[in-house]
Structure 1
């Protein structure tokens, strides 16, 4: 099995908001460099950033959490409104971690579900985010509102995972490993080939257990319910992302094929929005870690400590 390179990072568990937030952060925390938070997506953990993080380590103090419900962070039982898995709750965890670390303002990047957490964090805590990057998503409300046959076929998991418990949990739990491999291999442009054995083993360890599958379903149930309520309220109030934002998406993925991500994000931002398609499928940071790191450095590197 390949050993993952975490040179220059330390693992830590932080207690915030009644949950344990597992994370890795730069070992040279006293360097004074800008702080960059990287948020992962489904069905992964902070491990997805491993190669990007090594490339960015000389330039930033990095914080890589496992979102609540994922990886080695706490998994809470589901509630009727799924508020415990809302993007607002996940964003509040990230802010509480930064408070614990003594960081007031930080740079923020999220892929997939992590991008949706980052979006909510930028709306709920605008003074905390210096710059924002979202990777391979369009705003949740817009994606659901545009649902048609093409989108439902491509993102069938959005509609499967939101079914009442324990139906999807039971269906996935019976074949968790093939399900995980189908997601990791099917959404990327190169199948499972872009994932080293050590990283794949971590995803398998963290996903293929009942409580993890339930937490993932709760994440999606929240997105189809309470998260949409929060998003609608924000739009009704005229709340928009206040910081400069970079949007990256895969040229070989569903977002490219079915949406205009740049236009959709510009409609939700009150600052400058730039972005373009990357030569990848959905898992851009793993399919092209060097290119991803270069884009993030070019965008976030313009901010001084």
Structure 2
């Protein structure tokens, strides 16, 4: 799927001393942009968008720890090994090892939550960011109602103690995977066959499924602690941020406009822009790859042009 990209595997140092292999691909040339996938996918979801962005950018797309071909470290009792902080640190080290001190980043689903954490933990590294089809984790837990609990039922299933959800999902893992990929306003046929086969290979591995659930357990525990600490300290998103969401997805059905929610978390609300992607559901990258790629390319191009105008140089090159 990434014929003109170069695959790589880099082992990064985790905060708890764990060594975690991170798999990814790199292609194109120009200002660097990192692409982060969500649940239950891998970097393959970015294929059509990555190829388009690689015309003008150096594109790096990786598998998050616990997903795809990346490592699956032991989670520990507090699930910290699968916190968004740990995942963000992985990706920052990957970009450092590839020679990029500063870079743009775009994330979908869980990858967007990693991006949000990266914006807070590593503001000096991120030049601009795109958050695709999510609302902030703390916001979602603080605004649970019947509609959101029904749509996000998996959040509450996955956070149950191991190995209750693991055993339940293990009864028909591929069948269950298909219900996820064909849900949230999208259809299973939105996913290219080659990408779907990769998701199935990963989800067939019990260790991979456990790691993905640990991601959600961290999201309901240590990640909320990190978010609360940032809120108390007054930390805000400082980089220009693009917010995109699918009109048929859960985010699109939210009672409050997603832009209003994200602007409250920004140092300068005017730096947060975005819009709904028409008829797409949650998997908007898969359903509307050309439209999504065009929005990302426009955002990157406009921000890079603004940087040149203000400073005389583009601040996203390594």
Normalising by structure 2, report the TM-score.
0.91
Mapping for residues 259-278 of structure 1, pairs under 5 Å = 259-271=256-268, 272-278=271-277
CA distance in 2, matches of 1:301, 1:203: 32
- CA drift of 1:176 comes to 0.2
- Bigger shift: residues 191-200 or 233-242: 191-200
Following TM superposition, the consecutive aligned residue runs of length 4 or more in structure 1 with deviations greater than 4 angstroms are none
Question: What residue number does 1:173 align with?
Answer: 170
8 A Cα contact 1:115 1:135, kept in partner: yes
- CA drift of 1:149 comes to 1.4
1:141 equivalenced with 2:138 (yes/no): yes
Question: What residue number does 1:236 align with?
Answer: 232
Question: What residue number does 1:23 align with?
Answer: 24
- CA drift of 1:188 comes to 4.2
Question: What residue number does 1:300 align with?
Answer: 300
Q: Which residue of 191, 194, 217 corresponds with 2:190? A: 194
1:49 equivalenced with 2:18 (yes/no): no
1:132 equivalenced with 2:129 (yes/no): yes
8 A Cα contact 2:151 2:184, kept in partner: no
8 A Cα contact 2:35 2:107, kept in partner: yes
1:290 equivalenced with 2:290 (yes/no): yes
CA distance in 1, matches of 2:276, 2:127: 23
CA distance in 2, matches of 1:78, 1:120: 19
8 A Cα contact 1:246 1:299, kept in partner: yes
Deviations 1:79-112 (A, max 9, x none): 1100000000000000111111111100010000
CA distance in 2, matches of 1:52, 1:61: 13
- Bigger shift: residues 127-136 or 74-83: 74-83
Unaligned stretches of 5+ residues in structure 2: 14-18, 305-313
Q: Which residue of 9, 26, 43 corresponds with 2:5? A: 9
**SS of match in other structure, 1:257:** coil
Q: Which residue of 144, 150, 153 corresponds with 1:153? A: 150
Normalising by structure 1, report the TM-score.
0.95
CA distance in 1, matches of 2:33, 2:175: 34
1:103 equivalenced with 2:100 (yes/no): yes
Matched positions, count: 296
CA distance in 1, matches of 2:4, 2:185: 28
RMSD: 1.0
- CA drift of 1:116 comes to 0.2
Unaligned stretches of 5+ residues in structure 1: none
1:218 equivalenced with 2:214 (yes/no): yes
8 A Cα contact 1:59 1:301, kept in partner: no
CA distance in 2, matches of 1:197, 1:111: 20
Q: Which residue of 56, 66, 69 corresponds with 1:69? A: 66
CA distance in 1, matches of 2:165, 2:74: 15
CA distance in 2, matches of 1:7, 1:212: 26
**SS of match in other structure, 2:127:** strand
1:250 equivalenced with 2:246 (yes/no): yes
